[in-house]
Amino acid sequence: MKAIICTTYGPPEVLKMVEVEKPIPKDNEVLIKVRATTVHIGDTKVRRLEPGLGPVQDFFFKPMMRFILGFNGPRKKILGMELAGDIEAIGKDVTLFKVGDPVFASTEFQFGAYAEYRCMPEDGILAIKPKNMSYEDAAPVPNGALTALFYLRKGSIQKGQKVLIYGASGSIGTFAIQLAKHFGAVVTGVCSTANLDMVKSLGADSVIDYTQEDFTKSSDKYNVIFDTVGKIKSSKRKKSLSRSGIYISALSLSGNVKLKVEDLIFLKDLFEAGKLKSVIDRRYPMAQIVEAHRYVDKGHKKGNVVITV
């Protein structure tokens, strides 16, 4: 099968398409024919070996990344953290899925989605794809939307609360706006000029152009500030939180994101009910993975960048 491998850390050009052995599912696994995956920010950070936490934090965290991921290059050479596809084969102990099922899944830091096939345990972050979504639209959900849901729940979001989402035009941000509105919050999205209309269209009650206005200089107070890009300085965000307000950063190192398959099924129901949608910026064939990573590295993508396999 064809797969994209990353044998060393570096620019997008380190990614190479090669032929590798097609995996065989274990007794508790399903074999997925991958139809679509994404260029997740986690993939680009691993490829670059850049945590993206800031110069000082990155300096201290890089050695830990090498220890965890691999010293000279990723141990798991096929990147890709989320996918959508069809089940082609199942192990003898599998009971939750059958051959032909359309599914979407998060491989998390086991990666492996940049390939024509991927085996996954049936009890992994894996569920039947929403009926009304294409593979391309479904692929970003098991990581981007699931992560947004995790953090909003961590913030104990309540109906009627004022919620500010910083970095509202990215993958997590676009899903977070819609989910916060679903939970009944009054949502303010912060993004650049080019993305104001898109963020409004997702349901944000108000938008702030960070290139023109510093939200921390306003008298407005928020119950929850969700920083999807980890760029709000501590000294500033405190000014904009209510007395019992909560600040949440998607780049926080305090505690890993715990993705749950029950939450993926919860999201599936919301998508099927037409209450959520994926924002797709660009689509690339797998052969153009280098160009896709190059585009994401610029830091200006709107929503998600999808790879068709």
Between CA 269 and CA 251 the distance in angstroms is: 28
* Confidence (pLDDT) at 233: 84
Lowest mean pLDDT of 176-185, 219-228, 236-245, 280-289, name the range: 236-245
Give the Å distances, CA to CA, from 7 to 2, 43, 63, 142, 285: 15, 13, 18, 26, 21
Give DSSP secondary structure letters for 253-288.
Answer: -SS-----HHHHHHHHHHHHTTS----EEEEEEGGG
> Does residue 152 have a pLDDT over 80?
yes
Give the residue carrying structure tokens 């303010």: 188
Question: In 3D, which of 198, 46, 166 has the Cα closest to residue 112?
Answer: 46
**Residue 210 forms part of a structural domain:** yes
**Residue 188 forms part of a structural domain:** yes
* Confidence (pLDDT) at 48: 94
Lowest mean pLDDT of 58-72, 190-204, 216-230, name the range: 58-72
Does 136 share its domain with 157? no
> Does residue 255 have a pLDDT over 90?
no
Does 43 share its domain with 86? yes
**Residue 19 forms part of a structural domain:** yes
Mean pLDDT within 198-211: 97
Between CA 11 and CA 289 the distance in angstroms is: 12
Does 57 share its domain with 134? yes
> Does residue 254 have a pLDDT over 60?
no
Does 228 share its domain with 162? yes
Structure tokens at 71: 């010293």
The percentage of the chain sitting over the pLDDT mark of 90, rounded to a whole number, equals 83
Q: Which residues contact 238 (CB under 8 A, 6 or more apart)?
A: 247
Does 228 share its domain with 284? no
Question: In 3D, which of 218, 252, 212 has the Cα closest to residue 237?
Answer: 218
> Does residue 57 have a pLDDT over 80?
no
Does 12 share its domain with 132? yes
* Confidence (pLDDT) at 64: 82
Give the Å distances, CA to CA, from 300 to 116, 157, 217, 286: 28, 28, 25, 21
* Confidence (pLDDT) at 77: 97
Mean pLDDT within 177-203: 97
Does 239 share its domain with 91? no
Q: Which residues contact 283 (CB under 8 A, 6 or more apart)?
A: 136, 305, 306, 307, 308
Span 1-48, pLDDT tens digits: 999 999 999 999 999 999 999 999 999 999 999 999 999 989 999 999
The percentage of the chain sitting over the pLDDT mark of 70, rounded to a whole number, equals 96
Between CA 29 and CA 12 the distance in angstroms is: 31
Does 240 share its domain with 302? no
The parent domain of residue 155 ranges over 144-249
Between CA 25 and CA 28 the distance in angstroms is: 8
> Does residue 164 have a pLDDT over 60?
yes
> Among 211, 231, 249, where does a domain finish?
249
Span 84-129, pLDDT tens digits: 999 999 999 999 999 999 999 999 989 999 999 999 999 999 999 9
* Confidence (pLDDT) at 53: 67
**Mean of the per-residue pLDDT values for the chain?**
94
Between CA 114 and CA 30 the distance in angstroms is: 17
Domains contained in the chain, number: 2
* Confidence (pLDDT) at 67: 86
> Does residue 207 have a pLDDT over 90?
yes
Give the Å distances, CA to CA, from 203 to 187, 273, 276, 301, 309: 8, 16, 10, 19, 32
- Residue 177's domain is classified under what CATH number? 3.40.50.720
- Residue 291's domain is classified under what CATH number? 3.90.180.10
Between CA 293 and CA 296 the distance in angstroms is: 5
**Residue 264 forms part of a structural domain:** no
Does 164 share its domain with 282? no
Quick count: other Cβ atoms within 10 Å of Cβ 199? Answer: 27
Does 212 share its domain with 124? no
